[in-house]
Amino acid sequence: EDRRDSLPSQKIIPKYSNNLTGKVRIVLAGSAGQKIRSAASIFSRAAILSGLYAAQKDDYPITIMTGYSIAEIILDRNPILYTGIETPDLVIILSGDGLNRIKDRLNLIKNGTMIFIDDTLGDQLNIEFRDNIYRIPVQNWVEAKEVGKKNLALVALGYLLNKTQLFPIDAV
């Protein structure tokens, strides 16, 4: 007997609108233990709830709780046929591990790319333009106990949503 017929449907029914005008490529870079992949998954599901297609690709070492953690998210109104990101539109950098992992890619980004970076890491950015760089007070959020370390990535994605208005924060 095929048990798949008895499993509940995992279909996500859109309930929100979105403001996407074209494909959006997001790179979320942090450290192991910061729940980068989980936050990207929640964000992607929220995008789907907002009527979008979403694809996620993760990159992390096989070590446990050490090293970098990267999530790449693509959002589009149309089906996504290729999940690679050569040039991101939005970048979030939450840790030195994440910054070190994507540093070479930052040289390839265009001037219109929005970069959200932990304000303690901002001086380590070695890119020629300064437009669209937003320093976010990641460590202050933790120290003020406003956000636990394991929620930083999701809060940063919420900050990105607030700035870009891609889809409603309520979807998250």
Per residue in 95-127, pLDDT (tens digit) is 999 999 998 888 778 778 899 998 888 677 766
Tell me, what's the pLDDT at 160? 92
Which residues, including other chains, have CB under 8 Å from residue 52's CB and lie 6 or more apart?
18, 20, 75, 76, 77, 167
pLDDT at 165 over 80: yes
pLDDT at 141 over 50: yes
Contact at 8 Å (CB) between 147 and 155?
Answer: yes
pLDDT at 63 over 80: no
Tell me, what's the pLDDT at 4? 47
pLDDT at 2 over 60: no
Confidence of residue 1 (pLDDT cuts 50, 70, 90): very low
Contact at 8 Å (CB) between 20 and 77?
Answer: yes
Confidence of residue 129 (pLDDT cuts 50, 70, 90): low
Amino acid at 66: T
Give the angle subtended at the CA of 91 by the CAs of 43 and 99, to the nearest 5°.
115
Sign of the alpha-carbon torsion through 87, 110, 99, 114: negative
Distance CA 87, CA 154 (A): 22
How far CA 79 is from CA of 63, 128, 147, 159, in Å, comes to: 33, 34, 34, 26
Mean pLDDT, rounded, for 136-141: 77
